[in-house]
């Protein structure tokens, strides 16, 4: 993909919160960036706090990422990496903040809810 002329920045499924930094880096250096790393080595849930929700009554809150099951037909474990969970304290804080933003319905977003908290010290 990096050989495609019009592709300037390549990122993986990790470090999505750094997209603006990558764009700024590209603007400053004018050099193509490849920020893809081995997702299988990622162990921390990437915190991306929601600080603004406009004109919505429903919100999505991602609380878990990755999968360790490796079902034969599925690429999720290879694309998303191992199971990682958002910290419970952070979930509670974000739910409180979303409720302040007049959110009436909240959806928890995850791949493997049964694995929620697996990577956290309980």
Q: Which spans of this chain sit near ligand SF4 (rule: CB under 6 A)? A: 67, 69-71, 74, 76-77, 111-112
Q: Write down the least CB distance from residue 116 to ligand SF4, Å.
A: 13
102/113 with CB nearer ligand SF4: 113
**Closest among 113, 104, 3 to 66, alpha carbons compared:** 113
Render the burial of 16-47: b for 16+ CB within 10 Å, e for the rest: eeeeeebeeeeeeeeeebeeeeebeebeebee
Residue 33 vs 76, nearer CB to ligand SF4: 76
Nearer to ligand SF4, 70 or 107 (CB): 70
The span from the CA of 121 to the CA of 100, in Å, is 29
3-state secondary structure of 43: coil
CB of 71 to ligand SF4, least distance (A): 3
Least gap, CB of 89 to ligand SF4 (angstroms): 26
């Amino acid at each position: 993909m990096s050989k495609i002329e019009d592709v300037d920045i390549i990122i993986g499924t990790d470090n999505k919160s750094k997209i603006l930094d990558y764009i700024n880096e590209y603007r400053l250096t004018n050099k193509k960036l490849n920020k893809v790393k081995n997702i299988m080595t990622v162990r921390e849930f990437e915190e991306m706090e929601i600080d603004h929700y406009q004109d919505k009554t429903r919100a999505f809150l991602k609380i878990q990422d990755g999968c360790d099951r490796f079902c034969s037909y599925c690429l999720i474990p290879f694309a998303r990496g191992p199971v990682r969970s958002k910290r419970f304290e952070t979930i509670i804080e974000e739910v409180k903040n979303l409720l302040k933003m007049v959110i009436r319905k909240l959806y928890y977003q995850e791949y493997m809810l049964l694995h929620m908290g697996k990577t956290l010290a309980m």
